[in-house]
Amino acid sequence: MNLTEHQLSDFQSLELKAMAYIDTIKNSPEERLTSRKEYYLKYGFADGNQYGFGNSEIDFLEWEVERGVLAAEYHARWWYNVNLKFIYYSVLGSYVFEQKLENVELPQPVQRWVDYLKNPCSSNWYKAHNTSIIHGYIEYKDMAEKESWIEQYFINEVLDRLLYAEVMVEGETEIFGSIGKILANPRLPAVDILVKIKDLYPENYPLKFKDMLNVLDIGFDIGTLMSYVLDKLIIKRNLKKIYSYISELLDIPELEKFIVDNKVTYPQI
C-alpha cells in the first residue's frame, strides 16, 4: 500500500507526537500508571466498570510498579523497555484513531489498537494488547538474554499465561470452554486476584531465593498449588497448541519460533 506524501507526513507527525509523549513519562513508573489510567478512562468503554477493558492491564501495571522493574535505573532492562514500547503503540494507535487517518499502512500493533478503538470488545482488546507485547518480546530479545535464567523462565511464564487468556477469550480451550470467555474477560478482576499471589507474581526484582522457589513451584502452600495447576497441568501441557493458535490468530509467525519440543526457549529464538 502506497502512502501519499500528505498521509505520510500526517502519520510521521503522529509518530513524533507519540515519541515526545513517551519521553515525558518513561522515567516515572507512577506517570506511566497515571497515563494508562487516563487512557482507559477515555477508551476503556467502562459502562460503570472503572477502567473497562483496561482493568486487567492496570492491575498488572500496578504490580510492575510495585516490583520496581519500571524504575529509571533499569532503563536498559527488559521489563522497562517492553512496557514502554507497549504504551507507545497504544498511544500512537489512539492518535491515529482520533486523527481519523484512513488508507494508511500502520505497524501491526498500532493497527490492532485502532481496530480495538473502532470496535471495542474483549477479543479486539486482547489482539491489540498481545500483539504489542509479543512485538516487545521480539524487539528486546537481546535485553532478555541479559536477565538471569530464572527471570527468563518467569518472563516466559508471564507470556504463557497471557496467551492462554487470549485463547480462553476466543473460546478455544478444552478445559474451560465458554466459561473461559468470562474468566479471561479483561474487564473482570481475575488479573487483580492473580498478581496478588506471590507464588505466581513475585514482588522482588531481581528475584530472591524465595521467589525462585515460588516461580519453580517448589513449596506446599496454596499459592504454590495454584501456580502448579495453572502453569504445569493446564498451560504447559498445551504450549505448542497455544503458541501455534495465537501465532496464526495474530499473524505473528515469529511466535512459533518461541517453542521447541513443547518448551518455550525465549530469548533463544
What pLDDT, on a 0 to 100 scale, did the predictor assign at position 1? 47
> Can you count the helices (H) and strands (E) in the chain?
13, 2
Whole-angstrom distance, CA of residue 33 vs CA of residue 39: 10
Whole-angstrom distance, CA of residue 198 vs CA of residue 217: 11
Across 42-59, b (16+ Cβ under 10 Å) vs e yields ebbbbeeeebbbbbbbbb
Each residue of 98-121: pLDDT tens digit? Answer: 999 988 999 999 999 999 999 999
pLDDT at 35 over 90: yes
What pLDDT, on a 0 to 100 scale, did the predictor assign at position 8? 63
| Residue 241 confidence class, pLDDT cut points 50, 70, 90 | very high
Q: Considering the domain boundaries, does residue 24 fall inside one?
A: yes
Whole-angstrom distance, CA of residue 165 vs CA of residue 154: 17
CA distances from 211 to 72, 78, 195, 217 (A): 23, 19, 14, 10
List the grid coordinates of 77.
532492562
Q: Considering the domain boundaries, does residue 75 fall inside one?
A: yes
List the grid coordinates of 238.
498445551
Least confident of 46-55, 100-109, 172-181: 172-181
Q: Is 24 exposed, middle or buried (0-12, 13-18, 19+ CB in 10 A)?
A: exposed
Which domain covers residue 18, as residue numbers? 5-264
Q: Considering the domain boundaries, does residue 251 fall inside one?
A: yes
Least confident of 70-74, 88-92, 151-155, 229-233: 229-233
Each residue of 71-104: pLDDT tens digit? Answer: 999 999 999 999 999 999 999 999 999 999 988 9
Q: Considering the domain boundaries, does residue 155 fall inside one?
A: yes
Q: Considering the domain boundaries, does residue 269 fall inside one?
A: no
What pLDDT, on a 0 to 100 scale, did the predictor assign at position 4? 61
Q: Considering the domain boundaries, does residue 236 fall inside one?
A: yes
Across 240-269, b (16+ Cβ under 10 Å) vs e yields eebbebbbebbebeebeebbeeeebebbeb
Better pLDDT: 176 or 202: 202
Q: Considering the domain boundaries, does residue 74 fall inside one?
A: yes
Please tell me the total count of domains within the chain: 1
CB 140 within 8 A of CB 74: no
pLDDT at 211 over 80: yes
Q: Considering the domain boundaries, does residue 189 fall inside one?
A: yes
List the grid coordinates of 115.
481496530
pLDDT at 147 over 90: yes
